[in-house]
Amino acid sequence: MNPNWDELVTWHWYGSEIDHQRRQLTNVYKLKYKLEDDFDSVLQWNLQRLGRLARETSVLDASGKEQFRILRQRRMPYSKCLLLSGHERLWTLTTLSIVRHRHELQFANGSVWKFKTPFFSVGVTALENNNVVVAGEIMKSEYRWIFAITPSVDSSLTAIAVALLHEHRFGA
């Protein structure tokens, strides 16, 4: 199911950028509108892996203070990551296919989203009960994604999950 991009103008827009020099760093930006090119002015989150093969990723806010931790429980062939606040699990992101194009995001409240990052595509979509809740695409290179989240489900947790998906898809 592909979204109608014209209908997404009221959704909340984000950008995700992998630092291609240091692939252990992914930044998340809040965008004012879809085609905003200046990601630097509105940094929201920084996902920083704690070492190249580390099982943990620190999620820092714009001021550099750690707010969450992502714990990778399994890497290959089907990765599984948990977002933690202290010891509380906020969501679990699991890869469902060997070529990393289907994923499941399960929130602590029981809500489940199915993500698709088609192998020969430049987009990403997430469905909840057959309704598109996230839609995105590559911007300029695989190191930059833009994505929109429907306002009814938008949260920092969602933006962090999509950025982690981006990092898993195109990062190291």
Per-residue pLDDT at 118: 62
Per-residue pLDDT at 37: 58
What is the C-alpha separation between 25 and 112, in angstroms, rounded?
27
Question: Which string of DSSP letters, residue by residue, matches 11-74?
Answer: SEEEEEEE-SSSTTEEEEEEESSTT---GGGGEEEEEEESSTT-SEEEEEETTS-EEEEEEEEE
Q: Identify whether the C-beta of residue 79 lies closer than 8 Å to the C-beta of residue 95.
A: yes
Q: What is the pTM of this model?
A: 0.85
Per-residue pLDDT at 87: 93
Q: What is the CATH number of the domain that holds 96?
A: 2.40.160.200
Q: Identify whether the C-beta of residue 155 lies closer than 8 Å to the C-beta of residue 163.
A: no
Range of the domain at 15: 5-170
pLDDT in tens, the chain (172 residues): 566 667 777 888 898 888 866 656 888 988 876 655 555 568 889 999 886 667 889 999 999 999 999 998 876 778 899 999 999 999 999 988 877 678 899 999 999 999 887 665 667 888 888 888 988 877 767 778 888 899 888 888 999 999 988 887 765 5
Per-residue pLDDT at 121: 60
Number of domains the chain contains: 1
pLDDT one-digit tens code per residue, 49-71: 886 667 889 999 999 999 999 99
